[in-house]
Amino acid sequence: MPQLAAPPQPLRAPSFFLLDPAHDVERPLLRHGRPTLITFLRGTWCSSCQAFLERLSPLHTTLQARGVDLVGVVCQGRHWVKSWLALNALPFPLLVDEQRTVAKAYDVYKALGLDGIHIARPATFLVDAQGHIVWRYLGDDRADRPADASLLDALQLLR
Protein backbone atom coordinates (compact mmCIF):
# COMPACT_ATOMS: atom_id res chain seq x y z
CA MET A 1 0.00 0.00 0.00
CA PRO A 2 1.54 3.37 -0.94
CA GLN A 3 2.17 5.99 1.66
CA LEU A 4 -0.11 8.95 0.98
CA ALA A 5 -0.13 11.61 3.63
CA ALA A 6 1.38 14.65 5.19
CA PRO A 7 4.48 13.85 7.22
CA PRO A 8 3.79 13.66 10.99
CA GLN A 9 5.76 16.89 11.52
CA PRO A 10 6.68 19.40 8.85
CA LEU A 11 10.03 18.38 7.43
CA ARG A 12 12.38 20.85 5.79
CA ALA A 13 12.71 19.98 2.12
CA PRO A 14 16.31 19.60 0.99
CA SER A 15 17.11 22.08 -1.75
CA PHE A 16 19.65 21.54 -4.51
CA PHE A 17 20.69 22.88 -7.88
CA LEU A 18 20.34 20.30 -10.64
CA LEU A 19 21.03 20.24 -14.36
CA ASP A 20 18.14 21.03 -16.69
CA PRO A 21 19.39 19.18 -19.80
CA ALA A 22 16.76 20.78 -22.03
CA HIS A 23 18.45 24.17 -21.55
CA ASP A 24 21.95 23.12 -20.39
CA VAL A 25 21.66 25.16 -17.19
CA GLU A 26 21.52 24.36 -13.50
CA ARG A 27 18.21 25.19 -11.84
CA PRO A 28 17.15 25.23 -8.21
CA LEU A 29 14.94 22.33 -7.22
CA LEU A 30 12.94 24.80 -5.10
CA ARG A 31 12.42 28.47 -5.83
CA HIS A 32 12.32 30.70 -2.74
CA GLY A 33 8.77 31.58 -1.73
CA ARG A 34 7.13 29.24 -4.27
CA PRO A 35 5.35 25.99 -3.47
CA THR A 36 6.66 23.10 -5.56
CA LEU A 37 5.41 19.68 -6.55
CA ILE A 38 8.46 17.43 -7.00
CA THR A 39 8.13 14.04 -8.64
CA PHE A 40 10.92 11.47 -8.71
CA LEU A 41 11.13 9.20 -11.73
CA ARG A 42 13.02 5.95 -12.29
CA GLY A 43 14.24 7.06 -15.72
CA THR A 44 13.12 8.28 -19.10
CA TRP A 45 13.35 4.65 -20.28
CA CYS A 46 10.57 3.65 -17.83
CA SER A 47 7.19 3.32 -19.58
CA SER A 48 5.29 3.94 -16.31
CA CYS A 49 7.31 7.13 -15.76
CA GLN A 50 6.63 8.26 -19.32
CA ALA A 51 2.90 7.71 -18.78
CA PHE A 52 3.01 9.71 -15.54
CA LEU A 53 4.83 12.58 -17.27
CA GLU A 54 2.08 12.61 -19.92
CA ARG A 55 -0.53 12.79 -17.13
CA LEU A 56 1.32 15.64 -15.43
CA SER A 57 1.63 17.81 -18.54
CA PRO A 58 -2.02 19.02 -18.54
CA LEU A 59 -1.97 19.34 -14.72
CA HIS A 60 0.96 21.74 -15.06
CA THR A 61 -1.42 24.51 -16.22
CA THR A 62 -3.64 24.02 -13.16
CA LEU A 63 -0.64 24.03 -10.84
CA GLN A 64 0.76 27.19 -12.45
CA ALA A 65 -2.59 28.94 -12.05
CA ARG A 66 -2.40 28.15 -8.32
CA GLY A 67 1.18 29.42 -8.06
CA VAL A 68 2.75 25.96 -7.71
CA ASP A 69 5.91 24.95 -9.58
CA LEU A 70 6.18 21.44 -11.00
CA VAL A 71 9.59 19.74 -11.27
CA GLY A 72 10.56 16.22 -12.28
CA VAL A 73 13.77 14.62 -11.01
CA VAL A 74 15.32 11.65 -12.78
CA CYS A 75 18.30 9.53 -11.65
CA GLN A 76 19.88 9.05 -15.02
CA GLY A 77 22.72 10.34 -17.18
CA ARG A 78 22.22 13.82 -18.63
CA HIS A 79 22.83 12.76 -22.23
CA TRP A 80 20.04 10.16 -22.08
CA VAL A 81 17.60 12.66 -20.59
CA LYS A 82 18.57 15.36 -23.10
CA SER A 83 18.02 12.93 -25.99
CA TRP A 84 14.62 11.89 -24.61
CA LEU A 85 13.55 15.51 -24.08
CA ALA A 86 14.49 16.37 -27.68
CA LEU A 87 11.73 13.97 -28.75
CA ASN A 88 9.32 14.53 -25.83
CA ALA A 89 8.95 18.18 -24.87
CA LEU A 90 7.57 18.88 -21.40
CA PRO A 91 6.01 22.13 -20.13
CA PHE A 92 7.97 21.81 -16.87
CA PRO A 93 11.63 21.09 -16.06
CA LEU A 94 12.92 17.54 -15.86
CA LEU A 95 16.11 17.80 -13.81
CA VAL A 96 18.97 15.30 -13.68
CA ASP A 97 20.25 13.77 -10.44
CA GLU A 98 23.21 11.87 -11.89
CA GLN A 99 24.90 11.31 -8.50
CA ARG A 100 21.59 10.34 -6.81
CA THR A 101 22.28 12.98 -4.16
CA VAL A 102 18.77 14.42 -4.21
CA ALA A 103 17.09 11.00 -4.28
CA LYS A 104 19.15 10.02 -1.23
CA ALA A 105 18.32 13.28 0.59
CA TYR A 106 14.59 12.68 0.00
CA ASP A 107 15.04 9.03 1.03
CA VAL A 108 13.74 7.62 -2.27
CA TYR A 109 17.01 6.19 -3.61
CA LYS A 110 16.83 2.52 -4.51
CA ALA A 111 20.27 0.92 -4.82
CA LEU A 112 19.10 -2.50 -5.97
CA GLY A 113 15.79 -4.13 -6.71
CA LEU A 114 14.16 -6.57 -9.08
CA ASP A 115 13.15 -3.66 -11.31
CA GLY A 116 16.38 -1.67 -11.48
CA ILE A 117 19.58 -0.46 -9.85
CA HIS A 118 20.61 3.03 -8.76
CA ILE A 119 17.21 4.58 -9.44
CA ALA A 120 14.65 6.62 -7.53
CA ARG A 121 11.59 5.01 -6.04
CA PRO A 122 8.46 6.55 -7.61
CA ALA A 123 7.62 9.40 -5.25
CA THR A 124 5.95 12.81 -5.25
CA PHE A 125 6.39 15.59 -2.68
CA LEU A 126 4.49 18.84 -2.19
CA VAL A 127 6.67 21.54 -0.65
CA ASP A 128 5.08 24.74 0.67
CA ALA A 129 6.40 28.27 0.09
CA GLN A 130 8.32 28.08 3.39
CA GLY A 131 10.23 25.00 2.21
CA HIS A 132 8.40 22.35 4.27
CA ILE A 133 7.18 19.03 2.91
CA VAL A 134 3.42 19.14 3.51
CA TRP A 135 2.44 16.04 1.53
CA ARG A 136 4.13 13.01 0.02
CA TYR A 137 3.30 9.93 -1.98
CA LEU A 138 5.74 7.02 -1.95
CA GLY A 139 4.89 4.42 -4.56
CA ASP A 140 5.18 0.70 -3.90
CA ASP A 141 6.23 -0.25 -7.43
CA ARG A 142 7.23 1.23 -10.78
CA ALA A 143 3.64 1.99 -11.83
CA ASP A 144 2.34 3.24 -8.47
CA ARG A 145 1.67 6.96 -8.82
CA PRO A 146 -0.79 9.33 -7.14
CA ALA A 147 -4.15 9.89 -8.80
CA ASP A 148 -4.71 13.32 -10.33
CA ALA A 149 -7.46 14.00 -7.78
CA SER A 150 -5.04 13.22 -4.92
CA LEU A 151 -2.50 15.67 -6.33
CA LEU A 152 -5.11 18.41 -6.60
CA ASP A 153 -6.51 17.64 -3.12
CA ALA A 154 -3.01 17.95 -1.68
CA LEU A 155 -2.91 21.58 -2.82
CA GLN A 156 -5.39 22.35 -0.03
CA LEU A 157 -2.54 21.80 2.42
CA LEU A 158 -0.72 24.90 1.16
CA ARG A 159 -1.15 27.94 3.36
Q: Which of 106, 38, 27, 23 is nearest to 69 (CA)?
A: 38
Global pTM value: 0.89
**Tens digits of per-residue pLDDT, 64-84?**
999 999 999 999 999 999 999
CB 41 within 8 A of CB 53: yes
Of the chain, the end-to-end C-alpha distance in Å amounts to 28
From the CA atom positions of the chain, what is the Rg in Å? 14
Using alpha carbons only, what angle is made at residue 32 by residues 151 and 94, rounded to the nearest 5 degrees? 55
**Tens digits of per-residue pLDDT, 15-51?**
899 999 999 999 999 998 999 999 999 999 999 999 9
Confidence of residue 118 (pLDDT cuts 50, 70, 90): low
Distance CA 42, CA 79 (A): 16
**Tens digits of per-residue pLDDT, 146-157?**
999 999 999 999
- Look at domain 3-14+33-157 and name its CATH class: alpha beta
Using alpha carbons only, what angle is made at residue 159 by residues 157 and 70, rounded to the nearest 5 degrees? 65
Residue 114 has pLDDT above 50, yes or no: no
